[in-house]
Chain A
Amino acid sequence: MPKIKLEHVVMRFGTVTAARDINVTINSGEYVTILGPSGCGKTTLIKMISGILHPTEGRVLIDGADVTDVPIEDRDVGYVFQNIALFPHMDLKDNVGYGPRVRDMSREETDAVAEEYLSLVRMLDRSGYLPSELSGGEQQKVAIARALASGSKVIMLDEPLSALDARVRVELRYDIRRLVKKLGITVLHVTHDQEEAMSVSDRIILMRKGTIHETGTPLEIYRDPKSIFAAYFIGETNLIECTVVKRTKKGNTQVVLRDGSVTRVAGIRFEVGDPVVLSVRPEHVYTANDGIRAVVRDVVFMGTYWRVRTEADSQDLIDYNISADTDTPSKGDVVYLVFNKKAARLFARPIQGLQEEIVLE
């Protein structure tokens, strides 16, 4: 049964429309991340679910009941703020115990719950500290414990890990997933970190300009994005404008680049003559003795591999990766590129132009 459902939800702030006609369903116990460019309405979306914002139009349903007009405190939706917002005048135990306390539990019960959740995030030994005495990461953990301790079966996380260093972030994200899965909690998690979204979520919602652009499991979105924007925004990709010239008998589509060089992509979804955009991720581009001729423009070390940036004769910029321990080409070298045709995708070429299709604003 769907846990959360939004029907035709619209949110306007004066002339700004932060959400336009959003329809989405989140299943019970699902871990969903929301990705999207800054200002696309991610925070707005989860604030409407938790009741902090009241949608201009549309309905919000939780457990099948319409909660659009139910005030925040009665929604039972936990929320971890982008800026943490631990109560500065209470120690950690009182912070975490706040949810039970305002539900009129006794002091003993409150303390027991607080201790339980503090220990879940491994902060029990600090229970007497004030928030200002903690590091950013520790505060994040406590904020999450506080949201969980209120007993909500649904929680919203607004970039809960953004303040942390890379290593702690990685550890904490698995901790959170393990915790909420154990407790059977439904999570909506806003993030800017693609790797985070890929690695923890059951499903990703990609938002853009106040709408839900695409949803899918991490693998689906990576392998089979349904749009150029999704391919471009999630993971990295080379986008090459070309035209279909042939549908082969083996079930491939042959396309021609602007300079006349040809390449093949698996699948036959387009007619001969269709203008298309070829999307191929750098990790699926290889060098060979023959293929698309390109000149190396730059070679960048990415931490664990080399990124080679080239310009093809068709003037398309094509990146590819090579492993860290192999020799790299030098600037100005000529290379011949081939694509993994099973991993490459074709999209109809947008009428308004490729750049327009992928702008973030």
Chain B
Amino acid sequence: MSLIKTVDEISSNPRNRKAWLALACVIFAVIIVIPAVYVIFSIPSNWSGIQDVLSDSAMMSIIWGAIWNSFSLAFIVTIIDIIVGLPMAWMLVRKSYRFGKYLDTFIDMPLAFPTVALGFSVIVFWGCPEGITVPGTGLVVDPYLMVILLHIIFTYPYMVRCLSGILEQIDTNYETAAMTLGASKWTAVRTITLPLFRAGLVTGFILCFARSLSETGGTYIVLRMMGATTLDVTGFFTGPTLISTIKDIPETDSMPVLILISSLLIVFALLMLFVAKAVMTRLRIPWRKVWPQFGRRVSGRKVAGTKDVLAFLFALIFVLLPSFYIFVCLGTEGTYSDYGGFLGAVGASFLVAGAATVFDVIFGVPVAMYIARNRGTKRAELLDNLVNVPLIIPTTALGVSLGLFWGQLGLSSMGMLLVIFGHISFTYPLLVRNLVGAIEEVDPSYEEIARTLGAKPFQAFRKVLLPMVKSSLLAGAVLAFTRSLGETGATQAIADVSTVPIYIVDLINANDYFGAAVSSVMLIAICFVFMFGLRIVISRMGGKD
């Protein structure tokens, strides 16, 4: 333990603490922020190639179509999430149904499913792709609709979590107070509770929007299995799937196209972040007027009950059933024997996810502490906004950008390292966001009291703050880890490292659907075992100290 003691000693010098923070910030900038947007700065040096693309009107219409699809999809999905997530969050927080606890865990499950597995499951459930004998509903044949259905599954849990988190913090007395003043339940909720949601809604909106905008693997599988990934007018793409499709075409210099699409995606995404923040924080729920009669009518038990049933049915039909449908595929005939390949991919996935998560924890904690403890200062706000940048950028574009940046520095042969860097970029914000929220909840006077009792700063951090935010830190780490495990786009765009999602995409590309189903289910199982095991470890740790 002498190392920790040494750190304790070192930490009592404020200059050392500053140096450590500065180092964390520099690393944050050099490894995360700058490479993420580097692609934009590479436009001038690739200008002639890009000009060729710009004059290729067929290509341009595909590009614009893909970008339009990406943004409109993300918007629609997020709006649906808000509309259906709100009653669900309400039900989980405010009502005490007996099945509420199970529902709570079930809602989170799709988060543990890698999106490639979800994509496969969704297409089999809603569509009826050729070459698969599982009876699907066959209801959906439109790629746009299909992608919406897919994206709802993995964004919906984020939205419900986010909304129920806020709802838990809103004092129910506000609503009761409104009702003693004569407002019906409905009016009270509309005029008091919903407006108090605003800040949280912005976060939920950005999270879901970014997640939808970013998703590559699942979307690619869905589109590929619908036969929509042909590079002509009959094709259907989103920005990220277009990038991965183009990347897969061998023997052409596709760099200018990739740079163009990535830059467009990044610029629009950042604009979007800016606009969403500006609009949502100014948005007022416009109707001052209330309709007492109407409010009273919809405040009844029946309406509330119906709303709960609908919210539950939505979760069941549009989220849970399609997610778990993949297990049905195991019942079909087929052979799969490439377990060696699968295990290799698992090894690569765990290496990448583990390395990225460790990095996130080490360099994310000081930045999160700085942001949380210096709220309101310019520097902290700047850091806070910068942390969001890699979160909102579509990971495929991020991958292209990263590949370019490190390639410039001559590192392009170190594929594995670059993939880890890429995964750090988009997992880092997840961990930091979680941690900032948790640290802000802890009254700084605890640490100050520890210091007055003679603790060195690092000791105070270890013994006082860390135990209090431990669960959030671990939750953030688990989130980062699973997100990394499931990521397709960034990996694909950076280098030829065969992580499990890539492995599954390759199987699909080779039309080995049964193999894809088996590996997806195995990946799901691994994720579950991993998360479950971690939960046990966490609860043990919690019991010990």
Contacts and interface: CB of A to CB of B under 8 A. Distances in A.
Interface string A100-125: 01111001000000000000000000
Interface string B259-295: 0000000000000000000000000000011111001
A230 B299 CA distance: 44
A50 B180 CA distance: 7
The 4 closest A-B pairs by CB, nearest first: A102-B183, A79-B180, A99-B181, A72-B179
B290 A101 contact: yes
Interface in B186-225: 187-188, 191-192, 195-196, 198
Question: What bracket does the count of chain A residues touching chain B fall in?
Answer: 20 to 34
Contact of A85 (B177, B187, B198, B292): B177
B171 interface: yes
Describe A's contact surface by its main secondary structure: mixed
24 contacts: A52-B176, A52-B180, A71-B185, A72-B176, A72-B179, A73-B182, A73-B184, A74-B182, A78-B180, A78-B181, A79-B177, A81-B176, A85-B171, A85-B173, A85-B177, A87-B174, A89-B198, A98-B178, A101-B290, A102-B187, A104-B290, A104-B291, A146-B181, A150-B180
Contacts of B290: 101-102, 104
B406 to A, nearest CB: 47
Contacts of A98: 178, 181, 183, 191
A99 B182 contact: yes
A102 B288 contact: no
A120 B174 CA distance: 23
Given A52-B176, A78-B180, A85-B176, 8 more contacts: A72-B180, A81-B177, A85-B171, A87-B177, A87-B178, A101-B288, A102-B182, A107-B288
Contacts, number: 79
Interface in A62-105: 71-79, 81, 83, 85, 87-89, 98-99, 101-104
A204 B291 CA distance: 40
B173 A83 contact: yes
B183 A73 contact: yes
Contacts of A78: 180-181
Contacts of B296: 73
A147 interface: yes
B196 A76 contact: no
Interface string A130-165: 000000000000000011001000000000000000
Nearest to A110: B288
Interface string B324-341: 000000000000000000
Contacts of A104: 289-292
B280 to A, nearest CB: 14
Interface string B354-390: 0000000000000000000000000000000000000
Interface residues of B, number: 28
Contacts of A88: 174, 196
A157 to B, nearest CB: 12
Nearest to A77: B180
Nearest to A104: B292
Contacts of A71: 179, 184-185, 299
Contacts of A81: 173, 176-177
A118 to B, nearest CB: 15
B196 A103 contact: no
Nearest to A106: B289
Contacts of A147: 180-181
A110 to B, nearest CB: 9
Nearest to A156: B180
Nearest to B173: A85
B196 A150 contact: no
Contact of B181 (A51, A52, A102): A102
B178 A102 contact: yes
Contacts of B196: 88-89
B199 to A, nearest CB: 10
Interface in B44-85: none
Interface in B13-68: none
Nearest to B172: A85
Given A87-B192, A102-B191, A104-B291, A150 B176 contact: no
Contacts of B182: 73-74, 76, 99, 102-103, 150
A81 B173 CA distance: 8
Nearest to B300: A71
Contacts of A150: 180-182
Contacts of B181: 78, 98-99, 102, 146-147, 150
A87 B196 CA distance: 9
Nearest to B187: A102
A101 B192 CA distance: 13
Given A102-B290, A150-B182, A89 B195 contact: yes
A87 B192 CA distance: 7
A85 B288 contact: no
A89 B291 CA distance: 21
Nearest to A102: B183
